[in-house]
Amino acid sequence: MAYLFTSESVSEGHPDKIADQISDALIDNFLAWDEDARVAIETLVTTGQVVLAGEVKSKIYLDVQKITRAVIERIGYTKSEYMFEANSCGVLSAIHEQSADINQGVDRKAKQDQGAGDQGIMFGYASNETDNYMPLALDLSHRLLYELAALRRENKEITYLRPDAKSQVTLEYTEDHKPARIDTIVISTQHDDFSSEEEMREKITADIKNILIPRVKAQLKPELQELFNGDIKFHINPTGKFVIGGPHGDTGLTGRKIIVDTYGGKGAHGGGAFSGKDPSKVDRSAAYATRHIAKNLVAAGIADEILVQISYAIGVKDPMGIYVNTYGTSKVELNDSQIADKITEIFDMTPYGIETRLGLRNPIYSETAAYGHMGRTPKTVTKEFENSNGDKKTVEVELFTWEKLDFIDKVKTAFGL
């Protein structure tokens, strides 16, 4: 029978995402000056206040207040009426040195013997229902908010938008798991005050349908554009007024949007969040590595859909095991357990192997902290950093390396394709 599946996303101005972006900006600044830094930073944002907490082992000292305020300004919290503003909010730092007990289980004399920074389970997922091998409902949810933020910054076609927003897309699938149509779209966007709630509802609804939706559709292949039919149910700012938002409307914390960060509820998610953690924390690095594996296997034609699980023990370099589920879509004459065995032959899954293969000791994390860590486009960018002494440094880095399809040939060779 046909069925419905829903995914959601949140904007860069959502309180939890503000927290993620601050935590990851601090990670990048530490790694830019000290590639061996060990960092785990949590951020809390609320009305007029930011609280930073966590553990750091590094040879560099940073002006965390300056970095934090720069992130908030970039996102768009620049007006006092938001009750959370880049230049006036308080920033309290409770960051301290990393536990020596944890550190001794991770660092080794030889870097290749580095142990996992924690125990845990991590998942990677890929599906061929989109060009970026991501679940379609999540991909559309991200696109809606990315374009909404672009419209806010342009401030031309829509001039009343504020930074906080959420989206949700419900797809109807056929019995053979193919997307047939969009059933429902939910958009809740923070906005300036209107003279009346009725005027607000009419204006925002019209702008979402007539400006935002066409911009998103134009990015899609014709067969996906056809999913936008006249029967879509829209819920636009369904509670009515949404003037109070951001950290003034809801406290934000690092790591509370892990399903948005990954696959929108498809596949599975491990036990830990990503943002605020350096790559020695396998919660982050191994989740990227398993996505890299799943995407390259699907792109190589091993299966239409793949879930990869890996697990670690703290201080131990080799994973406890690898699990694979192809959901009955395998195209090779191997069972899922045998496919898992092949993965161990192709990919080095030690923490050091992952870090070096994907270039994870570079300052590449700020860009991951909004609109999903997976399904993004790999690219090389130049970034500038400044330390507490005023010294500046320019670094060229490659973003989203785990999205590269650079192992297809190796996968095909290993599987005899």
State whether 147 and 225 are in the same domain.
Answer: yes
Residue 270 lies in a domain: no
Mean pLDDT over residues 394-415, rounded? 98
Residue 44 placed within a domain: no
CA 192 to chain centre: 28
For 14, 140, 141, 192, 399, the CA distances from 292, given in Å and listed in that order, are 28, 21, 22, 41, 13
- Of 185, 219, 245, the last residue of a domain is 245
Q: Judge if 288 and 219 occupy the same domain.
A: no
Specify the DSSP element, H or E, that contains 164. Answer: strand 161-173
Mean pLDDT of 251-263: 97
In this structure, the answer to whether residues 124 and 150 fall within a common structural domain is no
Residue positions in the annotated binding site for K(+)? 42
Q: What is the mean pLDDT of residues 330-334?
A: 96
Confidence of residue 116 (pLDDT cuts 50, 70, 90): confident
- Annotated binding-site residues read 14, 16, 42, 55, 98, 164-166, 241-242, 250, 256-257, 273, 277, 281
Residue 102 has pLDDT above 60, yes or no: no
Q: Which pLDDT value is given to residue 104?
A: 56
CATH number at residue 292: 3.30.300.10
- Give the pLDDT confidence score for residue 79 in this predicted structure: 96
Residues 218 and 296 in one domain: no
pLDDT digits (tens, 9 = 90+) for 129-161: 999 999 999 999 999 999 999 999 999 999 999
Q: In the chain, how many domains are there?
A: 2
Phi, psi angles (nearest 5°) of residue 96: -135, 180
161 touches 191 (CB < 8 A):
yes
Report the DSSP pairing between strands 252-253 and 305-312.
unpaired
At 195, the pLDDT band (50, 70, 90 cuts) reads confident
What pLDDT shows up at residue 356? Answer: 96
Domain boundary among 223, 245, 267: 245
Percent of the chain's residues with pLDDT above 70: 96
* 115, pLDDT greater than 90: no
294 shares its domain with 407: yes
Which residues make Cβ contacts (< 8 Å) with residue 197, sequence separation at least 6?
Answer: 240, 241
Per-residue pLDDT at 99: 63
Residue 63 lies in a domain: no
- In this prediction the pTM is 0.96
Query: What is the per-residue pLDDT for 100?
Result: 59
- Residue stretches of the annotated binding site for Mg(2+): 16
Query: 354: domain range?
Result: 120-128+279-414
* Antiparallel, parallel or unpaired: β 3-10 and 161-173: antiparallel
How large is the angle between the packed helices 282-299 and 336-346, nearest 10 degrees?
Answer: 110
* 364 close to 29: Cβ distance less than 8 angstroms: no
Predicted confidence band of residue 173 (pLDDT cuts 50, 70, 90): very high
- 387-404 tens-digit pLDDT: 988 899 999 999 999 999
Based on the domain organization, do 157 and 239 belong to the same domain?
A: yes
Q: What is the mean pLDDT of the chain?
A: 94
Distance from the Cα of residue 360 to its chain's centroid? 15
Binding site listing for L-methionine: 55, 98, 250, 281
Domain co-membership, 152 together with 124: no
What percent of the chain is modeled with pLDDT above 90? 89
Residues 224 and 339 in one domain: no
DSSP for 193-227, please give it.
--S-HHHHHHHHHHHIIIIIHHHHHTTS-HHHHTT
Instruction: Out of 79-88, 134-143, 313-322, 366-375, pick the least confident.
Output: 313-322
What's the pLDDT at 39? 95
pLDDT of residue 108: 56
Reduced to 3 states (helix: H, G, I; strand: E, B; else coil), residue 416 is coil
Binding residue numbers for ATP: 14, 164-166, 241-242, 250, 256-257, 273, 277
